[in-house]
Structure 1
Amino acid sequence: MSTELDGLKSEVNEQNNFMIPSLKEMVEMLESDNQSKDEEIKLIKANLQKKDQEIASLKIKLVGMDSNNSQMDHNQNQIEQFQSQIAVLQQQLSELKNQIDDKNLEIEVLKHDHQEELKNLITQKQEIPDNNQTDGEIEKLQNIISQLQQDKSELTIQYY
Structure 2
Amino acid sequence: MELKSLYHDLIVDHSKTPRNFGNPTECTHSASGHNPICGDEVTVYLMIHGNTIEDVKFDGHGCAISTASASLMTDAIKGKTLTQTHALFESLHQCLTASADETTAGTDLGKLGALEGVKQYPMRVKCATLAWHTLLAALDQSDEQTTTKKVTTE
Bin for the TM-score computed over the shorter chain = under 0.3
Give the structure, 1 or 2, with the largest relative contact order (CA under 8 Å, sep 6 or more). 2
Name the structure with the higher helix share.
1
Larger radius of gyration: 1
